[in-house]
């Protein structure tokens, strides 16, 4: 469930030409079965690194990142250290938010999300930085105006204090519009083959009960630019068809389904129907005939084939999605200590600077004005 929470945070429409770099941080208290500290790094909505307080150290979640870490272990070590050290800073911010909100003890969740989106056609960059408290927006930084904004009355004091700190706002703007985009562009060049891959899915027919619609389910495809539909006699049909959303899998691939109401389809007409899956950039479609013997039931067996086990990933239900989204309404974070000069730097230089800015002084339990961009005073 804890990683499903993060996956759903990434589930939002993104333009085909936009790339994103995002860092998520969450600290909580009094929430059963949820680690009190979570860190996630994602590129183009694909979880690359995951860490929570139940683990010994952060873990790479994609093979391409493991390979890059072997080539540059110092950068990985720096990020690992940052994940561990950032807890003290976030704890300080969490205590400050609670104080300004007149809350003491009890259950609370502070979330942060920061990063940038880059349009590789227009070269337009949009940086973002948001905080949330207990599932509600708390305070955010507007990069264009270099001001802090909030729709939450409890965050007014934090917003006012931040808006008086002009130097701090300049550092944030530089981090979100210069540092992060440079890191993103550099790593995209390394991950080009990975991000531009075409993974075709496995497609199965599913049915809960004999009277339920037949669901054509595709899982394991990448990217998410795909479509699926039912046909009759080679022509796409819409009546009696219900399309599901494209949803992310834990490994960075995607799944989707399209249902066909067969209540009015006679047995002799089944052979006239088929399901078509099309992945953008792939010439051949995957065509699955409506065949009763190939349908998997909710017991994980094919009709007329009692011994064949199911290996199908069950789609995430709307009820689960709604429950998790209530629990994890988004917001965010990243810090940059000193302004980057005009000379281009390597990804490690950029990440080192970000790590220095994010981490409080290791000899102190509270962040200092010199070592961090303050979000409250």
Tell which residue, 6, 22, 23, 2, has the closest CA to residue 14. 22
Tokens of 231: 């046909």
Q: What 8-state DSSP symbol labels residue 107?
A: -
Residue carrying structure tokens 């795909």: 226
Residue carrying structure tokens 């981490």: 359
* The length of the chain, given as a count of residues: 377
- Measured distance CA(239)–CA(79) in Å, rounded: 52
What value does the CA radius of gyration of the chain take, rounded to a whole number of Å?
24
Q: Which helix (H) or strand (E) segment is 322 a member of?
A: helix 318-327
Q: What 8-state DSSP symbol labels residue 316?
A: P
Above 60 in pLDDT, residue 13? no
Residue 327: which pLDDT band, with cuts at 50, 70 and 90?
very low
Burial class (CB in 10 A: 0-12, 13-18, 19+), 334: buried
Q: What is the pLDDT of residues 131-185, one digit of tens each?
A: 998 888 999 999 999 999 997 888 898 898 889 989 989 998 998 999 889 888 8
Q: What 8-state DSSP symbol labels residue 231?
A: E
CATH code, residues 2-194+322-358? 3.30.500.10
What Cα–Cα distance (Å) separates residue 197 from each residue in 54, 168, 182, 224? 33, 40, 23, 11
pLDDT value for 158: 85
Residue 354: which pLDDT band, with cuts at 50, 70 and 90?
very low
For the chain, domain boundaries: 2-194+322-358, 202-315
Q: What is the pLDDT of residues 264-311, one digit of tens each?
A: 899 899 999 999 999 998 999 999 999 999 999 865 555 554 434 333
Do residues 335 and 354 lie in contact, with contact meaning Cβ atoms separated by under 8 Å? Answer: yes
Q: What is the pTM of this model?
A: 0.58
Work out the average pLDDT over 97-126: 86
Do residues 256 and 218 lie in contact, with contact meaning Cβ atoms separated by under 8 Å? Answer: yes
Above 90 in pLDDT, residue 93? no
CATH architecture assigned to 202-315: Sandwich (2.60)
Mean pLDDT of the chain: 76
pLDDT value for 194: 74
- Measured distance CA(266)–CA(14) in Å, rounded: 41
Burial 238-268 (b: 16+ CB within 10 A, else e): eeebeebebbbbeebbbbbbbbbebeebeee
């Amino acid at each position: 469930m804890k990683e499903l929470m993060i996956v759903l945070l990434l589930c939002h429409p993104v333009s085909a030409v936009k790339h994103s770099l995002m860092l998520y941080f969450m600290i909580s208290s009094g929430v059963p079965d949820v680690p009190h500290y979570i860190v996630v790094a994602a590129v183009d909505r694909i979880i690359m690194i995951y860490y929570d307080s139940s683990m010994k150290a952060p873990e790479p979640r994609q093979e391409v990142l493991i390979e890059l870490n072997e080539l540059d272990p110092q950068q990985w070590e720096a990020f690992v250290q940052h994940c561990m050290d950032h807890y003290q800073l976030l704890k300080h911010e969490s205590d400050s938010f609670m104080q300004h909100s007149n809350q003491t003890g009890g259950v609370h969740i502070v979330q942060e999300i920061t990063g940038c989106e880059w349009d590789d056609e227009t070269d337009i960059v949009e940086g973002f930085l948001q905080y949330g408290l207990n599932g509600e927006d708390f305070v955010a930084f507007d990069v264009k105006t270099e001001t802090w904004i909030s729709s939450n009355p409890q965050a007014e004091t934090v917003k006012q204090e931040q808006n008086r700190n002009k130097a701090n706002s300049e550092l944030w703007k530089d981090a979100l519009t210069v540092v992060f985009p440079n890191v993103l562009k550099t790593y995209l060049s390394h991950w080009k083959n990975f991000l531009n891959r075409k993974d075709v899915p496995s497609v199965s027919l599913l049915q809960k009960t004999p009277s339920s619609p037949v669901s054509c389910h595709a899982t394991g495809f990448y990217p998410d630019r795909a479509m699926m539909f039912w046909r009759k006699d080679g022509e796409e049909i819409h009546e009696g068809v219900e399309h599901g959303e494209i949803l992310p899998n834990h490994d960075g691939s995607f799944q989707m389904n399209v249902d066909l109401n067969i209540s009015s389809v006679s047995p002799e007409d089944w052979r006239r129907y088929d399901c078509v899956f099309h992945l953008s950039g792939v010439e051949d479609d995957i065509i699955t005939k409506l065949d009763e013997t190939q349908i998997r039931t909710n017991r994980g067996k094919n009709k007329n084939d009692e011994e064949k086990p199911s290996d199908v990933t069950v789609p995430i239900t709307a009820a689960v999605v709604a429950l998790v989204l209530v629990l994890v309404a988004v917001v965010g974070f990243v810090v940059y200590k000193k302004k980057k000069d005009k000379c281009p730097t390597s990804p490690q230089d950029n990440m080192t600077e970000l790590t220095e800015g994010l981490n409080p002084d290791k000899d102190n339990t509270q962040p200092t004005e010199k070592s961090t961009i303050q979000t409250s005073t």
